[in-house]
Amino acid sequence: MSSPGDHPLRAVIGGHCNPARITRLASEGASPEAPQAVRRDRFVAASPGYVGAMDITEVILHQHMEQRRMFAMLEEWPRDDTEGLSALWTRLAILLETHAEGEERYFYPELLHRGEGGGDADDVEEETEDAVKDHNKIRDAVRRVGDAQVGSDGWWEAVTDANVENSDHMAEEERQDLTDFRLHADLALRHDLAVKFLRFEAMTAARGIEPVDKDPEEWIEEHQGS
């Protein structure tokens, strides 16, 4: 029986999980004449499940799954446990706002400068402006949850509205924005943005941040010129 150290992928990954090396190799064009080690490193860099480096598009996608999971937990939570519902919602609300603010600080400015419009978006300005509008709609629903009595009909209605707005936003973001950025941003930039994004979230996760709506058109104008 083989030990964890004898895993068959060990020879593939080996000592090649160096972000700088991976970025360099991934930017080179593949050719049949490429040495085996070079082709192997390109395979690792291109693998969706690659764990050796952080990527802002993968971080955002992972957090989308976490948000979906937490909404599902709320739906299955005992309705009479208002203390538990309140605690779970508070945790989710913090994640929703820090995630949105982190995207507006780090991801969307870079997308605006590099993207061309992914999926069914007309252009990068449209997909970015839509995202800022969506964040405002999510913030509005989150505020209405906070204004209602936990566990009441009004509270659940606002939670459902937040779920709908967030689900619509995530689907569009995954189809347009993340696709666009993967096509036009290199691995080194995606790694650097992931570090900044996760650092911001870690610094604000305990108490959250004050939600602030953004004017989409003003946001675009401000970041196009920066």
Query: What is the model's pLDDT at position 69?
Result: 98
Q: Dump pLDDT digits (tens) for 45-55.
A: 444 444 446 99
CA distance 213 to 135: 8
Same domain flag for 116 and 210: yes
Does 166 map to a domain? Answer: yes
Q: Does one domain contain both 64 and 102?
A: yes
Average pLDDT for 91-120: 96
Residue 79 C-alpha from the chain's centroid: 30
Largest Cα–Cα distance in the chain? 66
Burial class (CB in 10 A: 0-12, 13-18, 19+), 161: middle
| Domain of residue 35, residue span | 4-46
How many structural domains does the chain have? 2
Query: To the nearest whole number, what is the mean pLDDT of the chain?
Result: 83
Q: Which comes out higher in pLDDT, residue 9 or 180?
A: 180
pLDDT digits over 54-92, tens only? 999 999 999 999 999 999 999 999 999 999 999 999 999
Q: Are residues 93 and 35 in the same domain?
A: no
Q: Which of 133, 127, 106 is nearest to 226 (CA)?
A: 106
Residues 62 and 166 in one domain: yes
Amino acid 57 reads T
pLDDT reported for residue 41 = 40
Residues 191-226: pLDDT tens digits?
999 999 999 999 999 999 999 999 999 999 999 876
